Structure 1
Amino acid sequence: MIAKETIDKVFDAARVEEVIGDFVQLKRSGSNFKGLSPFTDERTPSFMVSPVKQIWKDFSSGKGGNVVAFIMEHEHFTYPEAIKYLAKKYGIEVEETEQSNEQKEKAGERESMYLVSEFARTYFKDNLFKTEPGKAIGLSYFKERGFKVETIEAFQLGYCLDQWDAFTKTALDKGYQLEFLEKTGLTIVKGEDRMFDRFKGRVMFPIHSMSGRVLGFGGRILKTDKKAAKYLNSPESEIYHKSKVLYGLYQAKQSIAKEDNCYLVEGYTDVIQFYQSGITNVVASSGTALTPEQIRLVNRLTKNITVLFDGDAAGLRASMRGIDLILEQGMNVKVVTFPEGEDPDSFAASNSPDELQYFLDTNAKDFIQFKASVLVNEAQNDPVKKAETIRDIVHSIGKIPDRIQREVYIQECSRIMDISEEVLFNSLAQLGKKELAEASKKFKKEQKAFEVVRPEQKVEKIDTQQFLERKIIELLLLYGMEEGEFQDLVLKEDDKGELVLEPEVHGAKVFEKIYLDLQQDEVELSNPLFRDVYVHLIEEMHANETFTIESFLNKTAPEIASELSSILMDDEKYNLHNWDKNNIFVKEKKAGMTQLVSETILSLRCHLIDKRVDQLQNEVLKTENGSHEILEEIMNYHQLKKLLSNKLNRVL
């Protein structure tokens, strides 16, 4: 259990734009920030962060909330874990009690796998620094590679003892369940009694999520064994999907956003050696072929990727597919190749940080220059092969979604390959037609496989009452504590004995005006969520003179906070920014606050009158001769509706 004082400290210290900025590249948009959604695959930013209200909203997925809700949603943390993560980020001490065996058993499957992985990371690290075999074998190997102790600590490297079941036995003794040791792949189970450690005798590289959670491991064998793989990775599991993870991203994310560039390498030691040389904006695909999911992880932080290849010619050809994938995601890609026989790890180890940075800066080529240099060397003086090379480059240009960028690259290709732009544009157009035809053919084939019955498209009707109730919550959140001059309508008889509405002006806070008007009409909100929020808002505003949206959201449940964030950020979504620079002065929404409040309440009254009249009319139809009292009540309601409509300037 975390103390309330600690939670309050976390909320006071945590800034939503700082925390989300670790996961998403945010750009200023008026008083807010915008970025690409971390929850969906989108090209146009629809993810908004409000530093003033300390909330966020993802319009592509509908998710939203406060800073804790983001960490819970993005990292699949529980509420206490999200608080602990933020406390660690902001240097706030949290008193933790060790989990009992009973608590470990109650944890969900996914959480249990995380707990096991965290334990394994600590165990392997302790082996490396605190056991004789770990120091003699594991630590010696890392030091031979040139890794300093602080680098080893930064990447939480470790060592698995060269014993069949040392890790498994220790984990079981500590109360961790064999089921989750097996599901994470840390333990291999053969039959009822046989179980052994997957990473026996290997140095360990923990693979982290973007927030630092351990998802899996990579292990390198140190002794010569032709039957054993040099590198071994954790198997796919509920928490570890290789295609969606980049090694080193946890350590590199802030540097990538700051430098606005990401270096992409192949292996663990490439990342670590670069990091130690001061190039900290580097990640690895961990030996797997690059995937769109991995590219999108980088795309949240920067639009620029520099791919680093070693001098192996066969590897270069195979790696070109990754370049096309990067281009498809609308990103800018450059390529650096190292001298033959060198890779990023060896080159960084044998050169000073300044020399490494200079090499990267001076050898970075755009993808056309890179492809041309590799493919032209293969083609030499063969015209047919040269034509194939040009087609290959045009095919890559065709992957770029932005038309202007495509045209610029066509011009560049024309200059480098000495061929007319017209021919290249025609080739690009033919390629587009071919891909369109293939897509159409595939679609028709799928249509024949099963007939899709298209349902009639129905236009969704707007629920007026839900809309108005939502508006009342919005007004309370935005202006609840604001003072205003309100014009109340008091029903009186004039000299002729007819009912008229006479205006009376008085000052009040917005929440008081709304509360008293709804109370007078005995109106209760129909939506359960809005009703609950309304009651809590009124109570908080009555009791607390220093009420703030931020403090209110921090006390509400995540699902309610998400809905309230939607209401608040919908208001922000259509704000106009910087119009005054062009001498266009737009009236602020707050300037019409009192009118908006009064009109919303009047509209709700009119709507409820309509509903009541409908009910009364149905009652009249059910009686044989009608009812004089009911008809009279209907007439009175019509008269009241007419008066309210006049006030709203509506024609009945």
Structure 2
Amino acid sequence: MIAKTTIDTVFETARVEEVIGDFVQLKRAGSNFKGLSPFSDERSPSFMVSPVKQIWKDFSSGKGGNVVAFLMEHEHFTYPEAIRYLAKKYNIEIEETEQSQEEKAEANEKESMYLVSEFAKRYFHDILLNNEEGQAIGYSYFKERGFTNETIRKFELGYSPDTWDALTKEALGKGYKLEYLEKTGLTIVKEDKQFDRFKGRVMFPIQSMSGRTLGFGGRILGNDKKAAKYMNSPESDIYHKSKVLYGIFYAKQSIAKLDNCYLVEGYTDVIQFHQAGIENVVASSGTALTSDQIRLINRLTKNITVLFDGDAAGLRASIRGIDLILEEGMNVKVCTFPQGEDPDSFARKNSYEELVRYLDTNAKDFIQFKASLLMDESQNDPVKKAGLIRDMVTSISKIPDRIQREIYLQETARIMDISEQVLVNTLAQLIQKDVVETGKKQKQEQKAFEVVKNENPEQSQRIDVLYELERKIIEILLLYGNKTEEFEDVILRANEEGEIEEVTEKKEYKVYQRIYLSLQEDEVELANPLFREIYNDMVNYFHQNESFNTEHYLMHLAPELAQEVTDILMHEEREVLHNWEGQNIIVKQKDQTIEQYVSETILTLRWYLVDRIIEELKGSITSGPDSDNTETLSMAMDYYKLINSFSSKLGRVMSRYS
């Protein structure tokens, strides 16, 4: 484990503009830098880097954070990988924390397995290119498949000699241990005999998202009917087939940039698409699609297009995979190829333009795909059609987002020419069944679905208002929380006649103290869970630290919180993007009127909360000869007065109640 002192040194040394400058062409814009987004196609720059704050923000995609967050987003490193990358770039020696003997042994064992896998990849690739047998058999096979030399080298394709222990002997001769050759599955050991698992096969290295070699897929070229056509490395400490996607290392940047992932079945499908110019493609490596594989794609995009040939069994299998994708809250399209074609063969026969055009034209939404597929099977049989509709609604029930579910129900009702209410009732039954099986969480989701059509638009708007107010509270804390300002306090004091009156006094507070005390006085808790967590964290931070350092603060935040904090901090950088000052548009400097800004925000929040109470009181008023609303009306009038008081202090009329 990397020591905290090393991590601190990395953050103190690394410059966000230098690191990002290795990947993005940046131009100075005032005190900041700007450039084209590396996460989306654009012509006008929306990517900002702040050397002062040591953060970045991509306004086109909404992503942002510190230097480590950029590497994790752009290069898809894990946190430790990003730290190690920066340490290497800035020549910082990595200090490891003390580990137990068991932890050291496990770490060393995994690293040894990675090293022997990397050696095997280089060995197979070298045999393919430079060995007589490799060239005659393996290289010839790949050329017959239409792969260019550039493609063969890019994917580091290889060949395992058709002898019992060629790899094993070579590895042992180079000092690699038999123990790790066996644990990675490269060598099979039986009693005192050792032989290569992949002998006589062309080799496809399988890599992690960060590019480490995890295992291999091997295809036999001989006529041995007893041997499996394709063979994968066995499960090991570094290779878990259900958690790996072939080609993810080469596809990750294209997937993130194009915001879509093509999912195919085989290694050659991926390679052929890359060679054709379409790089946002991965394969499930011949296994049934798993939730872990879907989550891997979900790190890069919410959109998946599943590509299948016209084989009926394959299409049926795709439906099961689609339901899994929907459960992860992702958007699914399906594209099938003409009879007798698969992604590999179709890409070989068509140009890049023709391939893109075909995919764009023939990719169907999963509802359209499922309807067309199953309608062919139902053949106008009412019973089968009813089963088809239920099957489609079952898929829709997997979608976590209730609004998406409703949209898909509407589409299904249109396609199947059936009442939407029938589908709503069917969906409710399915979700209710899940409630019984999975408990309270699904039950809450069911209730949310049932009321979605009855939501009051005004209530939704109020939630947005509250969101903006709470976001402004966080913004103030981030920008000015540790500054000392004079604030007006209203106190009650007896005058010369002995009457109690309100008197204003000015008193110094830290901005965060003023906000904290005001919200405590009103017993207000932020409604948004994310803002509430950031608020509580920041108040604690200010209590414990005399100064506020953005870099230091972002370091200890969870990624979700750090993303939101970055978004707020970089909000004002939009002005630089549009060169407002250059167009003689005055930009308000909030730090010139911090006291007014803070006071106005707090008062506005209080006004909103009181306004909400008034609405609740109005809703409780009853009608009829026996109704007595005196107390309710009296309370409402008191709140009206409070609303007017807030409006007066703010210096503007804020409501219809004034």
- In structure 2, relative to structure 1, the CA distance for the partners of 1:160 and 1:408 (3 Å cut) is same
- CA deviations on 1:211-240 (whole Å, 9 max, x unpaired) are 111111101011011111101101111111
Counterpart in the other structure of 1:266: 265
- In structure 2, relative to structure 1, the CA distance for the partners of 1:377 and 1:69 (3 Å cut) is closer
Counterpart in the other structure of 1:126: 126
Q: Which of 54, 64, 67 does residue 67 from structure 2 map onto?
A: 54
Instruction: Report the CA distance between 1:319 and its aligned residue.
Output: 1.8
Pairing 1:150–2:155 present: no
Q: Within 5 A, what are the aligned runs for 1:105-124?
A: 108-124=108-124
Q: Within 5 A, what are the aligned runs for 1:494-643?
A: 562=556, 572=566, 577=571, 587-588=590-591
Relative to the length of structure 2, the TM-score reads 0.60
Counterpart in the other structure of 1:256: 255
Contact conserved, 1:256 with 1:301, CA < 8 A, in 2? yes
Contact conserved, 1:16 with 1:49, CA < 8 A, in 2? no
Counterpart in the other structure of 1:414: 413
Counterpart in the other structure of 1:348: 347
- In structure 2, relative to structure 1, the CA distance for the partners of 1:202 and 1:349 (3 Å cut) is same
Amino acid paired to 1:54: V
Distance 2:302 2:441 in 1: 32
Q: Which of 51, 75, 78 does residue 74 from structure 1 map onto?
A: 78
Counterpart in the other structure of 2:19: 14
Contact conserved, 1:264 with 1:306, CA < 8 A, in 2? yes
Q: What is the aligned-residue RMSD (CA, Å)? A: 5.2
Distance 2:225 2:373 in 1: 33
Counterpart in the other structure of 1:329: 328
Distance 1:169 1:442 in 2: 56
Distance 2:362 2:558 in 1: 51
Instruction: Report the CA distance between 1:430 and its aligned residue.
Output: 1.1
- In structure 2, relative to structure 1, the CA distance for the partners of 1:131 and 1:404 (3 Å cut) is same
User: Does the residue aligned with 1:381 lie in a helix, a strand or coil?
Assistant: coil
Instruction: Report the CA distance between 1:329 and its aligned residue.
Output: 1.4
Contact conserved, 2:207 with 2:213, CA < 8 A, in 1? yes
- In structure 2, relative to structure 1, the CA distance for the partners of 1:416 and 1:232 (3 Å cut) is same
Counterpart in the other structure of 1:395: 394
Counterpart in the other structure of 1:302: 301
User: Does the residue aligned with 1:108 lie in a helix, a strand or coil?
Assistant: helix
Counterpart in the other structure of 1:214: 213
Instruction: Report the CA distance between 1:18 and its aligned residue.
Output: 5.8
Counterpart in the other structure of 2:357: 358
User: Does the residue aligned with 1:228 lie in a helix, a strand or coil?
Assistant: coil
- CA deviations on 1:6-61 (whole Å, 9 max, x unpaired) are x9899874229969x99999x989975489xxxxxxxxx9x9743xx5354xxxxx
Distance 1:570 1:308 in 2: 35
Contact conserved, 1:168 with 1:187, CA < 8 A, in 2? yes
Pairing 1:135–2:140 present: no
Distance 1:569 1:359 in 2: 37
- In structure 2, relative to structure 1, the CA distance for the partners of 1:262 and 1:349 (3 Å cut) is same
Distance 1:187 1:368 in 2: 47
Amino acid paired to 2:168: T
User: Does the residue aligned with 2:78 lie in a helix, a strand or coil?
Assistant: helix
Distance 1:404 1:29 in 2: 33
Amino acid paired to 1:405: Q
- In structure 2, relative to structure 1, the CA distance for the partners of 1:588 and 1:431 (3 Å cut) is farther
Counterpart in the other structure of 1:291: 290
- CA deviations on 1:183-203 (whole Å, 9 max, x unpaired) are 111111111x21111111111
Contact conserved, 2:329 with 2:400, CA < 8 A, in 1? yes
Pairing 1:197–2:204 present: no
Contact conserved, 2:19 with 2:67, CA < 8 A, in 1? no
Report percent identity of matched pairs. Answer: 59
Counterpart in the other structure of 1:177: 177
- CA deviations on 1:131-156 (whole Å, 9 max, x unpaired) are 11111111000000000011111111
Contact conserved, 1:23 with 1:301, CA < 8 A, in 2? no
Instruction: Report the CA distance between 1:365 and its aligned residue.
Output: 0.8
Instruction: Report the CA distance between 1:71 and its aligned residue.
Output: 8.2
- In structure 2, relative to structure 1, the CA distance for the partners of 1:181 and 1:10 (3 Å cut) is farther
- In structure 2, relative to structure 1, the CA distance for the partners of 1:166 and 1:23 (3 Å cut) is farther
Amino acid paired to 2:261: C
Structure ranking higher on relative contact order (CA contacts 8 Å, 6+ apart): 1
Contact conserved, 2:40 with 2:258, CA < 8 A, in 1? no
Counterpart in the other structure of 2:435: 436
Distance 2:39 2:87 in 1: 17
Instruction: Report the CA distance between 1:347 and its aligned residue.
Output: 1.3
User: Does the residue aligned with 2:211 lie in a helix, a strand or coil?
Assistant: coil
Unaligned runs of 5+ in 1: 36-44, 57-65, 95-103, 444-476, 487-529, 539-547, 554-559, 596-652
Contact conserved, 1:68 with 1:83, CA < 8 A, in 2? no
Distance 1:238 1:23 in 2: 33
- CA deviations on 1:460-502 (whole Å, 9 max, x unpaired) are xxxxxxxxxxxxxxxxx999xx99999xxxxxxxxxxxxxxxx
Contact conserved, 2:68 with 2:82, CA < 8 A, in 1? no
User: Does the residue aligned with 1:370 lie in a helix, a strand or coil?
Assistant: helix
Pairing 1:282–2:281 present: yes
- CA deviations on 1:229-288 (whole Å, 9 max, x unpaired) are 101101111111111111111111111122211110000001011111111111100011
- CA deviations on 1:556-610 (whole Å, 9 max, x unpaired) are xxxx9657999988965765946999x9979459968xx9xxxxxxxxxxxxxxx
Amino acid paired to 1:332: N
Larger mean CA deviation between 368-377 and 8-17 belongs to 8-17
Distance 1:16 1:478 in 2: 26
Relative to the length of structure 1, the TM-score reads 0.61
- CA deviations on 1:159-192 (whole Å, 9 max, x unpaired) are 111111111111111111111111111111111x
Contact conserved, 1:263 with 1:283, CA < 8 A, in 2? yes
Distance 1:567 1:381 in 2: 53
Contact conserved, 2:273 with 2:347, CA < 8 A, in 1? yes
Distance 2:415 2:427 in 1: 17
Counterpart in the other structure of 2:245: 246
Equivalent pairs counted in the alignment come to: 467
Distance 2:156 2:264 in 1: 19
Amino acid paired to 2:172: L
Contact conserved, 2:68 with 2:83, CA < 8 A, in 1? no
- In structure 2, relative to structure 1, the CA distance for the partners of 1:549 and 1:292 (3 Å cut) is same
- CA deviations on 1:420-455 (whole Å, 9 max, x unpaired) are 111111111111111112224999xxxxxxxxxxxx
Amino acid paired to 2:267: Y
- In structure 2, relative to structure 1, the CA distance for the partners of 1:401 and 1:165 (3 Å cut) is same
Distance 2:141 2:320 in 1: 34
Contact conserved, 2:71 with 2:77, CA < 8 A, in 1? no
- In structure 2, relative to structure 1, the CA distance for the partners of 1:227 and 1:588 (3 Å cut) is farther
Distance 2:179 2:399 in 1: 46
Distance 1:422 1:200 in 2: 60
Distance 2:366 2:343 in 1: 19
- CA deviations on 1:64-114 (whole Å, 9 max, x unpaired) are xx9599989717659666756xx6xxxx999xxxxxxxxx99971111111
Instruction: Report the CA distance between 1:354 and its aligned residue.
Output: 2.1
Amino acid paired to 1:319: S
- In structure 2, relative to structure 1, the CA distance for the partners of 1:202 and 1:478 (3 Å cut) is farther
Contact conserved, 1:295 with 1:329, CA < 8 A, in 2? yes
User: Does the residue aligned with 1:14 lie in a helix, a strand or coil?
Assistant: helix
- In structure 2, relative to structure 1, the CA distance for the partners of 1:358 and 1:579 (3 Å cut) is closer
Distance 1:55 1:75 in 2: 7
- In structure 2, relative to structure 1, the CA distance for the partners of 1:345 and 1:137 (3 Å cut) is same
Counterpart in the other structure of 2:532: none
